[in-house]
Amino acid sequence: MTITVSIQKLNHARDLDLPFYATELSAGMDLSAAIAEDIILNPGKRCLVPTGISIELPKGCEAQIRSRSGLSIKNGVIVLNAPGTIDADYRGEIIVIMINLGEEPFTITRGMRIAQMIVAPFAKVEWQENQNLSSTERGAQRFGSTGL
């Protein structure tokens, strides 16, 4: 499935790549840091990292901003509100909320791949209020009820 999305590269990102798939079968596109100076992200601290792009998603689609697994396991640096949602009516710059859960300061540099973005269609919900829900084998059993 291919979805066409309009993108605007902002002035402070003119020399950076557009979001791209690292491999042919990647689901997420890498987003780059569009920063003028390095950001030192100390342990336990968070920051906003601009990407230098704005997008125009088609109606019925969203973009999800997620952590990159390499940054997560190697450095403990993740997207704080993952997955962050970009709505189809948002036209501002995509800015990523990062946090350092690692033990060492982490340096974010210009052009560094900091997060990944997945564009996907979604379903709108129309609520139908009922007094009872259908029964299932699991029922109302909570956390851990299916095994682990």
Q: Are 6 and 90 in contact (CB under 8 A)?
A: no
User: What was the pLDDT predicted at 139?
Assistant: 84
Could you tell me if 78 and 71 are in contact, meaning their C-beta atoms sit under 8 angstroms apart?
Answer: yes
User: Which is nearest to 101 in space by CA: 43, 39, 48, 49?
Assistant: 43
Q: How many CB atoms lie within 10 A of CB 29?
A: 17
Residue 148's pLDDT band, with cuts at 50, 70 and 90, is low
pLDDT above 70: residue 1: yes
Q: Give the global pTM.
A: 0.89
For residue 97, give the nearest of 148, 143, 31 by alpha carbon.
31
Model pLDDT, residue 112: 98
Alpha-carbon span 99 to 80, nearest angstrom:
6
pLDDT, position 18? 96
For residue 143, is pLDDT > 90? no
Single-letter amino acid code for the residue at 102: G
Task: Assess if CATH 2.70.40.10 describes domain 6-121.
Answer: yes
Angle at 82 between CA 75 and CA 25, to 5 degrees: 80
* pLDDT, tens only, 90-102: 999 999 999 999 9
Summarize the confidence of residues 128-146 as an average pLDDT. Answer: 87
CA–CA distance from 3 to each of 56, 85, 89, 120 (Å)?
Answer: 11, 17, 16, 8
- Cα–Cα distance measured from residue 18 to residue 85, given in angstroms and rounded to the nearest whole number: 19
How does pLDDT run across 40-64, given as a tens digit for each residue?
999 999 999 999 999 999 999 999 9
% residues pLDDT > 90 (the chain):
91
